[in-house]
Amino acid sequence: MQPIKTTLILGSFFIFLVAALAFFIKLDSDTDPSIYTDRLSANQTRASAAKKNNKEVREFEKSEVISKTDKVENEPSALFNDPAIKQAWGLKNSDAARAWKITRGDKNKITAIIDTGIDIDHEDLSENIWVNPGETGFDAKGLNKANNGIDDDSNGYIDDVHGWNFVSNNNNLTDNHGHGTHIAGIIGAMAENKKGISGIAPNSSLMILKYYDPKVPSTDNLKNTINSIKYAVKMGAQIINYSGGGTDFSQDEFDSIKEAEKKGILFVAAAGNERSNSDHHHYYPADYKLSNIISVTALDPNKEVLASSNYGTETVDLAAPGQNIISTLPGNNYGFMTGTSQATAFVTGAAILVMANKSDFKFDEVKKYIVSTGDPFTSLAQKTRTSRALNLFKALTILDSGVAANGVIARGTANDSFTPGQKENKNPTTTSEVTAFGKSLLEAVSPKPKFNRVGEKP
Ligand SMILES: [Ca+2]
Ligand SMILES: [Ca+2]
Ligand SMILES: [Ca+2]
């Protein structure tokens, strides 16, 4: 009789426990339905991710091409004669025109883009693709090292001229999605070539590392990511741009970024598009506690964080433009995409500019200049650690005792001594303002069509 009694008591207790749990969950959802929905979607993502093969995974950040064209509207007056630049509201909001008066980047700074590959022949990118010096020129037999089938620089990869495809383990960097090409354009599309747009750092060198391909479904994204990071570290990148992620901590991935930290490499990571609070539901690699990581969330033109973007006052460093961002797409196309990937690319571009402007800076100084100088907005107080939105000009100038390179006191669009709750200049961007952006860019460069460094004699 005794075992039956025990079973009955335990059974009743279990039923009570389930009922209590159900009650609290309901209470929770009644209190704040939006939070509950967010939590549920994050949990579902995690569950489906874990189900896959019972190990940590990295998901490709879902962001689709919104529109696509091979014809971009011509605006002869626009800066650098790049016709579509006036459509780039993000460049206006992040004060690119003034930043470009100081620097446009440095081809000696190598940026690794870990993504879906790239169209290396794109008219607005081709000259800014990194070239591995160890796989160019001619070998002893007079063959071109780029395609002689030999690992000429003995780095473990054969003919890795511009980077590596870790999905198919070869040097074919073809972008079968468009995402990688789009990210590359935001960071470093060529300027003054009468084509397309201008990247934030039009003088740049982009190392292409492919970790995801929609045409190869069963690939191990996490493993490809880690191998890409190791390649970037080994081959001398100064900045790594990565916009994938997942909710599982990976010791191997952590170690590879720790190795990058030891080498002084900045790691710019997307906060993710899971609509969730990263302080409670970590998203990796953005949330690893490493000093070289900058976690970036996405803004709309009104300085609001996108509903789809992850946020967190402990985990997300700052916000940057990420909605309807125009950039390059494979096949000499251009188009608009949305997400924290796009915002991440803005910050990577900023890092190139800061490094170009202050070549002696260590990664921690570059990070400090970017995350602590942006425009403060109350709308970001509950969303980011710094309450700030990227400002390219301020990132280059404001920490120099508040005095710009040209001796003018740096003045932003908002108060520099901002505290959350304070009234700020929201500076919304209207369509007419975006159209006027081309003119403002022209004014920024006039009377000479080409830039000189500020303070330099023409
Ligand atoms: Ca090689
Ligand atoms: Ca070779
Ligand atoms: Ca261009």
CA angle 384, 57, 258 (to 5 degrees): 60
pTM above 0.85, yes or no: no
pLDDT computed for residue 79 by the predictor: 52
Ligand that comes closest to the CA of residue 159:
2
Query: Which structure tokens are listed for 127?
Result: 């000259």
* Mean pLDDT of the 404-426 span: 35
C-alpha of residue 422 to centroid of ligand 1, in Å: 54
* Mean pLDDT of the 76-87 span: 64
pLDDT computed for residue 43 by the predictor: 35
pLDDT value at 63 more than 80? no
What CATH number labels 41-445? 3.40.50.200
C-alpha of residue 196 to centroid of ligand 3, in Å: 5
C-alpha of residue 185 to centroid of ligand 3, in Å: 9
pLDDT computed for residue 11 by the predictor: 53
- Ion ligand 2: residue ranges with CB closer than 5 A: 135, 145, 148, 150, 152, 159
C-alpha of residue 4 to centroid of ligand 3, in Å: 79
| Confidence at 55, pLDDT banded by 50, 70, 90 | confident
pLDDT computed for residue 287 by the predictor: 98
C-alpha of residue 156 to centroid of ligand 1, in Å: 6
Contact 109, 265 (CB under 8 A): no
Dump pLDDT digits (tens) for 91-107.
989 999 899 999 999 99
C-alpha of residue 189 to centroid of ligand 3, in Å: 6
pLDDT value at 122 more than 90? yes
Q: Indicate left, alpha or beta for 80 from its phi (over 0: left) and psi (-120 to 50: alpha).
A: left
C-alpha of residue 211 to centroid of ligand 2, in Å: 22
Dump pLDDT digits (tens) for 297-312.
999 999 999 999 999 9
Most confident of 14-18, 69-73, 418-422: 69-73
CA angle 325, 361, 268 (to 5 degrees): 35
C-alpha of residue 149 to centroid of ligand 2, in Å: 5
Contact 169, 71 (CB under 8 A): no
pLDDT value at 2 more than 70? no
pLDDT value at 278 more than 90? yes
Dump pLDDT digits (tens) for 153-202.
999 999 999 999 999 999 999 999 999 999 999 999 999 999 999 999 99
Domain spans in the chain, listed from the N-terminal domain onward: 41-445
pLDDT value at 225 more than 90? yes
Alpha carbon separation from 425 to 302, 415, 431 (Å, rounded):
11, 8, 18
Contact 82, 123 (CB under 8 A): no
pLDDT computed for residue 77 by the predictor: 38
Ligand that comes closest to the CA of residue 147:
2
* Mean pLDDT of the 62-69 span: 74
Dump pLDDT digits (tens) for 438-453.
444 444 433 333 333 3
- At 52, give phi and psi (nearest 5°): -45, -60
* Mean pLDDT of the 306-333 span: 96
